[in-house]
A and B are shown apart, each in its own frame.
Chain A
Amino acid sequence: MGDLISNLSLGFGVALSLQNLGLAFLGCLVGTLIGVLPGVGPIATIAMLLPITFGLDPTGALIMLAGIYYGAQYGGSTTAILVNIPGEATSVVTALDGHQMARQGRAGVALGIAAIGSFFAGTVATLVIAALGAPLTGLALVFGPAEYFSLMLMGLVFAVVLARGSILRAVAMILVGVLLSTVGTDLETGEERMTFGLPFLADGIDFAVLAMGIFGVAEIMRNLDHTEHRDVVHKAIGRLLPNKDDFKQSYKPVLRGTLIGATLGILPGNGAVLGPFAAYTVEKKLAKDPSRFGRGAIEGVAGPESANNAGAQTSFIPLLTLGIPPNAVMALMVGAMTIHGIIPGPQVMTKNPSLFWGMIASMWIGNLLLLIINLPLVGLWVRLLKVPYRLMFPAILMFCCIGIYSINSLPTDVMFIGFFGIVGYALIKFGFEPAPMLLGFVLGKLMEENLRRALLISRGDMMTFLDHPISAGLLAVALVILGLALLPTIRKGRDEVFVE
């Protein structure tokens, strides 16, 4: 406990320096901006802004990038409530009841409870990261290649179960992602694999290029196919602070949402996206009168909004302690860390304590800043929503080009975001979800490395994954979850969760 306090005070010392405070504010501001705007997500934005962080010190860079990620969770709820379009994938369920509240003239209360719930969830998540950081880092030290491989395999199984639509398609996407990660020079033997002899593929496909193509460019093409109607609520937003009754109704959902979101966020396999869905379902199940949901129930805003913010923050845990990025945003964080010569994993905490604790402390400060950015400035964000998409997407397009060019100064990188944009667009049209593919790509290289190492140690004996108890346990969990997801009854329930 004493350790925790001294560590956190070290962190606050770092995070409260003028530069880091400014960067946290900037990150949160950009995060809110892209969260509010539908059609730009944190993945594309962080990829665009990676080159900017070259000139910063690593702590400041990560503080800013983290701010973008959790800031987007706040911003996404604003659009969901006021326009009935999810600004982010994680605020889909917020739109259900949040927008109804807005139609009843209670937009302010919905925004208020979303922000307060998020702030509470952010505070708890910060403490969870601080408390779990040290023990999990200890755990990482007993992890060998077999355990790492099994853990990542479990993460991929989670990703399959959590993905929308057919399980077969999700499996296919993950396999394609891992396959793509094997493009480039083989590290053990130095032989080129599937590079077509092209020199710029020798180092493999750049993750930032793939992510920006699939989540930046393909997203633009997809949005252009749907002419969206943004019916901004014209009623007054009303008072922002929820009253006593609102608090009474929503404090339990906030607590439950935080718990659900924080737990799911830790799991590798993009649990943060499932958090809000799970929280909404739980609230509906627990409610005395479930028919209120979908008609402006405040619990339907409080629970999911707390869950998505908690999940966004706890997803840093696998990255900082085990060095495994649990989702695409964290994979970009790996990129930002390696640019500065930091290898993510258990050694970050021992070698760079000021970075580790500074980043954690900055998350709490960031949440406080977000409360200020979001509530009083909500009018400004609403006005931003009036910018038509026909003007927004050319700007996004140019920022994508500039960002990706600046990383390596290669025009071929720019062309490749176009190529992956087409690939992503085709995947969407064929009914595939691109997110699992990206996760497969992210974990693919690490998995191959650890698989090789584990099999080298065991001299080719596959039983090594079952002989190590932790590894066997992780594989068992993966198997059970996959089995459960394939059961007809649970499968139906899973579909229902996503339909809602």
Chain B
Amino acid sequence: MDPTVNTPTAGLQRGHSARSSFGLVRGPQNLVAGATLVLLAALALWLTRDLEQGTLGAMGPALLPRWLAYAVGLCGLALVIPAFRKDGDALERWSLRGPVFVIGGILAFAITIRPFVFGGLTTPGLGLLFAGPLAIIIGGFATPEARLRDLVILALSLTPFCMVLFGDLLNLPIPVFPQALTGLFPADWSQKAVLRATAIIMAAAALIVFLSSRRRRRTVQVDVTDHSGRI
């Protein structure tokens, strides 16, 4: 068995051996970066294949994009070729958790803020009331340090703040709550009144969660000191 596996440097060494095991590739970051540029250039050339290039005196729609694509492709090649000849930076480690949850939060917001037609499916338009907390709570889990309780408090306090600020004070054209919600309130209430009432309820809920969980936490702390006191 390899004795270095359990030492802290094992990962680093494995990285090194991985690099040499690619054989020819000596600058993986340059290779990937250059290849991306070449692919992008190829995509642009393919997309503009049917467009007129025109002449310099009367430029067609494809002239500039096509020449730019050639230039981008050349830059890409200029990065790819040295990747086999000179030692370069290794690729940085990608974390999956961050991007996945951040994008998840954004997508959740996008499809719930108003009805969104997706193929044959239509999502219900829930407005800021639900889209905001969804974005905060799903997005919030992008870090391993996330705590559900804190995120819930944040969502319950920030959402009513935004509802009042953007929907009430600034009158931005953003859906705030689903129409079904008005049914829960007296029929003669205006949209704004419903908005304010909902905001107050949410803020109160945030306060309740905050206070109740704080008390619990304090007792936990007391426990801890008790323990250490006894031991």
Contact surface of A with B, Cβ cutoff 8 Å: 51-52, 54-55, 168-169, 171-172, 175-176, 178-179, 182, 186, 188-189, 191, 193-194, 196, 217, 220-221, 224-225, 388-391, 393-395, 397-402, 405-406, 409, 411-412, 414-415, 417-418, 421-422, 425-426, 429-432, 448, 451-452, 455-456, 458-462
A400, B145: Cα distance in complex, Å: 22
Which 9 A-B residue pairings sit nearest by Cβ, starting from the closest?
Answer: A460-B57, A460-B56, A172-B75, A186-B61, A414-B110, A430-B33, A418-B106, A224-B98, A394-B140
Which of B44, B60, B131 makes the CB contact (< 8 A) with A194? B44
Cross-chain contact B154 with A415 (CB below 8 angstroms): no
Q: How many whole Å from B34's CB to the nearest CB in chain A? A: 9
- In the complex, the answer to whether A415 meets B75 with C-beta atoms within 8 Å is no
A186–B57 CA distance with the chains assembled, in angstroms: 16
How far is the CB of B178 from the nearest CB of chain A, in Å? 15
Contact B75 A175 (CB under 8 A): yes
Extra A-B contacts (8), CB below 8 Å, given A52-B172, A176-B72, A431-B29: A188-B61, A398-B162, A406-B166, A411-B110, A411-B111, A411-B114, A414-B113, A430-B36
CA distance A459 to B59 in the complex (A): 10
A52 to B151 Cα, complex, angstroms: 26
Q: Give chain B residues whose Cβ lies under 8 Å from the Cβ of A414.
A: 106, 109-110, 113
Binary flags per residue of B142-179, CB closer than 8 Å to A gives 1, else 0: 11011100110011001100100010001111100000
Q: Which residues of B contact A458 (CB under 8 A)?
A: 57
- Residue contact B78 to A401, C-beta cutoff 8 Å: no
Q: Which B42-86 residues have a C-beta within 8 angstroms of A?
A: 44, 47-48, 51-52, 55-62, 64-65, 68-69, 71-72, 75-76, 78-79
Known: A196-B47, A455-B56, A462-B56. A421 touches B102 (CB 8 A): yes
Query: Which of B's residues lie within 8 Å of A, judged by CB?
Result: 29-30, 32-33, 36-37, 40, 44, 47-48, 51-52, 55-62, 64-65, 68-69, 71-72, 75-76, 78-79, 89, 91-92, 94-95, 97-99, 102-103, 105-107, 109-111, 113-114, 116, 128, 131-132, 135-137, 139-140, 142-143, 145-147, 150-151, 154-155, 158-159, 162, 166, 170-174
Report B-chain residues with C-beta under 8 Å of the C-beta of A422: 99, 103
Question: Once the chains bind, are A182 and B110 in contact (CB under 8 Å)?
Answer: no
Contact check: which of B95, B158, B162 meets A224 at CB < 8 Å?
B95
Q: How far is the CA of A452 from the CA of B13 in the complex (A)?
A: 55
* Residues of B close to A172: CB separation below 8 A: 37, 72, 75-76, 79
| Cβ of B202 to closest chain A Cβ, rounded Å | 14
Please pick, from A51, A169, A221, A391, the residue contacting B150 in the complex, using a CB distance under 8 A.
Answer: A391
When the two chains form their complex, are residues B162 and A448 in contact, meaning their CB atoms are under 8 A apart? no
Q: What is the CA–CA distance of A176 and B69 in the complex, to the nearest angstrom?
A: 8
Closest to B76 in A: A172
A389 to B61, CA, bound (A): 46
CB atoms of B75 and A191 under 8 A apart: no
Contact check, A51 vs B172: say whether CB atoms are below 8 A apart. Answer: yes
Find chain B residues with CB under 8 A from A186 CB: 61
Picked from B44, B51, B72, B135, the residue with its CB within 8 Å of the CB of A394 is: B135
CB contact under 8 A between A193 and B162, given known A179-B44, A220-B102: no
A interface, by DSSP: helix, strand, loop or mixed?
Answer: helix
Q: In the complex, which residue of chain A has the Cβ closest to the Cβ of B46?
A: A194
B68 pairs with A390, CB closer than 8 A: no
Whole-angstrom CA separation of A421 from B99 in the bound complex: 8
Of B106, B143, B174, the contact of A421 (CB 8 Å cutoff): B106
Residues of B within 8 A of A455 (CB): 56-57, 59
> What's the nearest-Cβ distance from chain A to residue B176, in Å?
11
Complex: A215 Cα to B172 Cα, angstroms:
23
A400–B109 CA distance with the chains assembled, in angstroms: 11
Q: What's the Cα separation between A55 and B169 when bound, in Å?
A: 11
Alpha-carbon distance A178/B132, docked complex (angstroms): 34
B162: A residues at CB distance < 8 A: 398-399, 402
Would B146 and A179 count as touching, CB distance under 8 A? no
B72 contacts A179, C-beta separation under 8 Å: yes
Contact in complex: A398, B40 (CB < 8 Å): no
A402 and B166 in contact (CB under 8 A), knowing A189-B52, A394-B151, A409-B173?
A: yes
Residue pair A169, B33 in contact (C-beta under 8 Å): yes
Query: A residues within 8 A CB of B71?
Result: 175
* Neighbour of B48 across the interface among A193, A196, A448, A451, CB < 8 A: A193
On whether the beta carbons of A168 and B69 are closer than 8 Å, the reply is: no
Could you say which residues of chain B place their CB within 8 Å of the CB of A51?
Answer: 170, 172
B174 and A405 contact, CB distance less than 8 A: yes
CB A45 to nearest CB in B, in angstroms, measures 15
List of B residues within 8 angstroms of A415 by Cβ? 106-107, 110
